Amino acid sequence: MDIQIRGVQKHYGSFHALRGIDLDIASGELLALLGPSGSGKTTLLRAIAGLEPLDGGQVRFGDIDATALTVQQRQVGFVFQQYALFKHMTVFDNIAFGLTVRPKKQRPDTATINKRVRELLELVQLGGLEQRYPAQLSGGQKQRVALARALAIEPRVLLLDEPFGALDAKVRKDLRRWLRQLHRETGYTTIFVTHDQEEALELADRVVVMNRGVIEQVGTTDQVWDAPATPFVYDFLGTPNVLPARVERGALLLNGATATLATAGAEPEGPVNVYTRPNELRIADDGDAAALSGTVVEIQRTGLLLRLGVQLLSSGDTIEIELPNPDPAVQRWQLGDAIRVRPARYSLFPRKATTAEVETGFDPTRTVAEHRERSRN
């Protein structure tokens, strides 16, 4: 089912958690809400589920105005980070819960429930474990039970709140792949929240990058990676080098350097920041006029990559450059070596006069969950 979100607002006390969110989600899409903690991604997910009453705006499931429905009526499958399994019930009873709590008229008969639970157990690859209690399962198994329980009600949309957050790296990777496959098989519209960019890029069709209660960018994984719309997105996806520069008469001049980089010509005149990722920098020849000179101040080898810290002669800033690890016999960098680099790809963002952004009402020592908790009481 497709989902439309229009002008959604949410406050927790004086903390503005969602500042007018507009978003369209296509039927059958696998969408990631990506952002740091406090960005509003979990709040948005909970708003879609109806777990957070809204201060403004609307959520629509297809033709239905979901804002007018209670949590129970919305029929969403919600998977919690900490599983939230009913501990005193067996795996079977957990999965059957959503069917057995239906009013008598809509409740399937026992045989149908049995059949459905068994199908779901097969789907999440936990056949034979139906009589176990949650305490007897591993973390990954628990999360799969939680998913089966959410799927049992044939949800309009499947919502996952940091579904792999509590699992170790290996299990996380397996479950990711498995979820991707499950999504392909079942075709449920799925939205998941994560703060892990790798997880978002690997799993999702489209990624929504959020920051401070607003959407910074929506796009396919390629779009957000290749063309970050804002400095925040650039920063959040990877660790770019930021070089202060200015645009003069259509030419880009890095601060303190004489080298000129070509620009597309569309940039406004004035101070800008050049964003370039470590893997977008290249080693330049001596004859390259646009290259930046520097000194190698750090060498780090991580598997297939060689990472160099280069202190620029022009500004004294240290930038990071990432190279496919070359044959050590051919090229060997040593600390203190002179080096020339040039950005092969980069983006420009106008540099504002640095204003300290003051966030009213947001106490960084408190998590959003605590804000939520406090505003409830």
Determine, following the binding rule CB under 8 A, whether residue 72 of this chain makes contact with other proteins.
yes
- Neighbour-count burial of 42, counting CB atoms closer than 10 A to its CB (0-12 exposed, 13-18 middle, 19+ buried): buried
* Among the listed residues 22, 86, 125, 138, the single contact to other proteins using CB under 8 A: 86
Per CB under 8 A, does 108 bind other proteins?
no
- Contact segment (CB under 8 A) with other proteins among 95-103, 223-231, 276-284, 346-354 equals 95-103
Q: Does 165 bind other proteins (CB under 8 A)?
A: no
Q: How many residues bind other proteins (CB under 8 A)?
A: 29
User: Cα angle at 18 between 60 and 188, to 5 degrees?
Assistant: 40
**Angle in degrees, CA 69, 71, 77, rounded to 5:** 120
Chain mean position to CA 225: 12
- Looking at the Cβ atoms of 87 and 115, the one nearer to other proteins is 87
- The residue within the footprint of other proteins, chosen from 88, 177, 184, 345 (CB under 8 A), is 88
Please measure the distance between the N-terminal and C-terminal CA atoms of the chain and give it in whole angstroms: 34
Phi, psi dihedral angles at 62 (to 5 degrees): 60, -120
| CA–CA separation, 274 and 349 (whole Å) | 7
Q: Which of 10, 41, 149, 176 binds other proteins (CB under 8 A)?
A: 149
The CB-of-195 to other proteins minimum distance in angstroms stands at 19
Out of 68, 101, 227, 251, point to the residue binding other proteins (CB under 8 A): 101
Quick one: 112 or 325, whose CB is closer to other proteins?
A: 112
Among residues 25 and 48, whose Cβ is nearest to other proteins? 48
* Contact predicate 172/81, CB 8 Å: no
**Residue 77 binds other proteins, judged by CB under 8 A:** yes
Among 14, 27, 82, 220, binds other proteins (CB under 8 A): 82
Residue 110 binds other proteins, judged by CB under 8 A: no
Q: Are 231 and 349 in contact (CB under 8 A)?
A: yes
Instruction: Say whether residue 75 binds other proteins (CB under 8 A).
Output: yes
DSSP codes, 232-298:
HHHHHSS--EEEEEEEETTEEEETT---EE---S-SPSEEEEEEE-GGGEEEPPTT-TT-EEEEEEE
Q: Which residues bind other proteins (CB under 8 A)?
A: 49-51, 71-72, 74-78, 80, 82, 84, 86-89, 97-98, 101-102, 133, 135, 146, 149-150, 152-153, 377
